[in-house]
Structure formats: C-alpha cells, structure tokens
Structure 1
Amino acid sequence: MSSTSSPVTTDSQPASVPATGPTKGAPRLRTPRKHVPGRPKRSVPLTLLTGLVLLYTLVPLAWLVISATKTQEGLADSSGLWFAHDFALWDNISQTFTYDDGIFVRWLLNTLLYVVLGAGGATLLAILGGYALAKFTFPGKRAVFAVVIGAVAVPGTALAVPTFLMFSKMGLTDTPWAVIIPSLVSPFGLYLMWVFATEAIPVELLEAARIDGAGEVRTFFQVALPLLAPGIVTVLLFTTVATWNNYFLPLIMLKDPDWYPLTLGLSAWNAQAETIGGDVIFNLVITGSLLTIVPLIIAFLLLQKYWQSGLAAGSVKE
C-alpha cells in the first residue's frame, strides 16, 4: 500500500505562496550599502575639504605657469588665469638667463652651493646624531632630548638677529659662510632621525652584527644606514626646501648681489619697479620663480620610491 504525501493546508496558512513582483504603488526600500572591511568609508565633508585644499594648492601654480608664458605687456592686457595672444615662455626663459650679464645663473649656482653644503651637512649631522641618540645610552641623554625639543619650538627668525651679531663679530657677514654655517643646524631633522632610527633599526640586527665581529662603524654603514634610507631622504628634502627657500637669513647676512640666492635675487628684480628709472621686468620675475620651483618638484618626484620602499622598514617577526 503506497501513499503520497500532500501538503497540509489550513484556512490560516496556505500551502504555498506564489512568487510575485513588488506591488504597484508600494514604496521601494533602498538596500543599505555594505561596508567592505579594509576599505575606507566615504566622507562627503572630507572630500570637499580635500578638494578645497587641492584647489588652493594648484591655482597659484597654474597662475605661475600661465603668467610665465606672457610678455610684460601681456601680463597687463590678459586675464591672470588664461593665456595671452602670444606665447613667450621660451623668450622669457632666454631673457631670464641672459638679463644683467647672466646674474640669474650666478644666483642659481649660489643656491646650489648653499643647498649642497648647508642642507647636505645638516642631513649628515642629523643622521649621525639621531642614530647615536636612538641606539646608545649615555649620561645626559634626557637633557639632550629636552634641548632638541626646545630648539624645534624656536622659530628660525627669532635667532636671525643674534646670529647676525655673532657672525659680525667674527667678520663672516657678507660671505657664503654666513648662510652655510647656520643651515648646518636642523633640530627638526635631528629629532626626526632620532625617532625614525628608534623604530626602523631592530636592536637584534645590531647585536647580531656585533656578535659576528663587526665594529660600530661597519655596523652603522652596512646594517643601519640602508634601513635609514627613507628617513634620510625625508630629512634631506626638508633641509633642502628650507635652504632653497631661505630668504630672511641671506637678507640680513648678505650685501653683495654676487652672493645672493635665488630668493633674494628675484626679490631684488621685483623691487626694481619701485625705483626711479628701474626696469620693470615682472615677466622675468615670474619666469624666474617658475624655474626656481622646478628642481624641487623634480626632486620630490624622483625620491618618492625611497618612501615607498621604506613603508615596512623596521618590521621584525617576533
């Protein structure tokens, strides 16, 4: 005897409900978007703020690039954020390098000199000091830390006048050393290398190198220095930008235009319009300003790989 099973139905509960589409006229509920773990959430205010910051950064740069393509007459006859009827960028660059017997080239070489000796020396001292403070213990280490933090908090302009008086007593004013020697001191660079060396160099690597018979100098150059590459590049860029854009210190230290950096030289060109009989060369000032920032942009673009390669520096598997 066989029997077939059949669904039991009642008046209150049907056996099956046919699948139908949404009822006409009923409100459609929006399915909330699920957040994917590890993916940052979207923030409209943060996006708007980032757009404003980007606009604030790029508009002056766009104005500088566009204005560098105009002649002196074109700067007055055209809109600031659009090109003039003639394209004079290459003529402006040529005139910038040849105006006043090529003094712009001399200012460029002076700036490179200050950057190589000043910023390069500051980076070297920051590397040595930061590594020593991070990996060695000695009496007075806390006092050194307090001095470094205090020096970071003091603005450079506050020390300009005392520095001028001291260099004047030594007879070093109006010489390149008056700009190079103060640039060798970078409290922020020292503090940054101190913090970076503390995290990026595992103590186990140093102990292993010492057990293998390596001296402190060899350990520093072969073990520690490669791990410090991202921090070195960061400090080098900070000191380079600070020295390249330094204006107030050369202003009070230098009188001879032959030792001017680019910042002070372009300011002198710009001031010519305010003197009786002076040449109005705003087009050359703008073009020179554009040429001044190009090396910094190139340096940032070329050194990005060191930051990317150092993201995992110092990680040790426990």
Structure 2
Amino acid sequence: LCCTMSFPLLFSWITIIIARLDNHAQAISSWSSGMDTYMSESWAVLSRMPQPSCVDIPRNFTLCHGIDYARMRLPNLVDHETLDEAVQQAAPWISLLRLNCHPDTQRFLCSLFAPVCLERAIYPCRSLCEAVKSGCEKRMQMYGFPWPEMLNCNKFPITNDMCIQPHENYQVNKSCTSCNQVGTYENILDHFCRSDLVLKVKLKSVSSNYIVVQKARSIKPRETETNLRQSDVELKLQLTENNENCPCSSAKAHRNKRYLAMAYHGRNGVLVLNLLLPWRKEKVQFKKALKMFRKLDCKTLGTQIRERARRERRKKLRAKAKAAAARLGLKIPNPR
C-alpha cells in the first residue's frame, strides 16, 4: 500500500491519525482532571459531615436526664447535630412523659433524642414504638397532639437483638394502673378531665379489687359534680373496670391520711377508681394542679399544657442567657 500511495496522501493520513490521538489524549486528561476534582470535592463534603461523638446528658436535658445511662451519641437519631438543638427540640415532649400514658415513654423517646453512646447507632424496636403509640396516641389526640410522622413505627426495625425492646416486667400488675400514677401537673389535670368524681378522702379499707373511702369532700366544679360535698358516707371504688384483683401499693400504708381520689362511672353504675395519690400539697406540681381545678376548661387542656411547656422553656432559656451574660459582666433587663 505504501508503495502505491502518493506521498501527499500518505502525509494527510498520518496527520489525521496524529490529530485523533492528540484529541484522545486530551479527553483522557480532561476526564482524569474531572475525576480528581470530583473526588476532591467529595472528600471535602465527607470531611464536613459531623462525625459521631459522645457527650454527657446534661441536667437541663429534662426529658432524658437520669435515664439508665449517662452519655449520649451526637448526632442523635432525629438528626440533631448539637446538644443545644437536641435539648430544645426534646422539650415539648416532656408533657407527654408527664401524662404517664405508658411506662416506656421515656425509654422510647430518649432512644431517639439521646441515644446511648455506642460505636454504632441502636434504634428502638418497632414493638417498643407500637407499645408507646398504643398507650399514648389517643391521649395526645384528645389534646390536639397528632402522632407525628417522625415517630412512624414502620421506620423502626422489627424486634431483634440489635434494637431497644420494651421492658418485659411492665406487664406485671398492668391492669391496676389507678394506684400507680405519678403526681405531675399534666397527669393530675388529665385524669381530672376524665373523671366524674374528684375527691379528697380518707381510706377506710383496702382489698385486692376495691377500696372503701370515707370523709369524702368533692373538689370537682359544680357543673360536673354530684350532690356530694362533705359526707361521712362510705364509698366503694373498684380498682379496675372489670373488677380484677391487683395490688394498690400507694394505699397500703397510712390509711388515716388524706388522699386525692378520682373515679368515673363504669358499667352498671359502679364507681371505678381512676387515680389515687397521697394528698401532698407541699409538692409544687400537686399544688399547682389543685389551683387549676376551679378554673380548668377541659376542652382547652391541650392548649394550656402546650402554653405551660412554652413558658417553662422560655424561663429556662432566659435563666441560661442571664447566667452567660453575668459571666461576661452584662445585664439582661427583665421583660415587662
């Protein structure tokens, strides 16, 4: 072919081949440069991503301080990257915890807001989420709190050894919840709104399925109370709707002391105990709840609970700001 091809034509072919090789080399160089830029930018993004770290759960992290462990992982499992953000976003859930709607409420919420400090993240099991949702969702809806999408139970793993499961021992004496209530402001007002009778009483006797009270004085507003004011008549209050046997530990001792008792009318007109607490007016939350009884509008209880939570949050933030300002020698004026 070389012998029969003219020199000008051969030269043209060689020029074309060299040009194509040069273009190919430039393309490879450009691709290589682009990959270098891409990898450089990717590593820069990865280096800016927050790496997991462990911090102490501070005292002002009210929702989770005092739980079974002392250190938590950041970022947490709801994408809060800083401790301040986690504390702030967890604050509205304190009211749900104080409603005492399920024994594992704190365990579930803190597994997300303050996950235990381990090398890898441990999520709550789906069964834990479903148990808390079953106990709390209706109570939340009653006061205008829908179950949020961020707590959608389908997001969590089916129960296995690598997720946080519900406590098993809570199944014991599950039916007798009336005697195992907490004296929080939210829980007392919640039961007040769900009870037909609210009484200050003395206990005469306690059995396995009912209590007998005397010296009962009604403290429910007139429009919803019975004719009971102050009476020596004894009242029998069943401990459960189905008259089941269960221990009432809060009523075993000090039977001559006063108690706050709340009850509702069950089937066949029987009175069923809804809540029993020792009468402890020296307790701040108990005292605040008592003051609210006469002016409480149960239709707006959810709004009142939310507003109280906001006030508490603002108060804490202001105290924190004042402390920081004092360290700098500054003074924050009081709000009018």
Fold conserved between structures, TM > 0.5: no
- Which one has more relative contact order, counting CA pairs under 8 Å at least 6 apart? 1
Question: Which structure shows the higher strand fraction?
Answer: 2
Question: Which structure shows the higher helix fraction?
Answer: 1
Return the TM-score normalized by structure 1.
0.21
Return the TM-score normalized by structure 2.
0.21
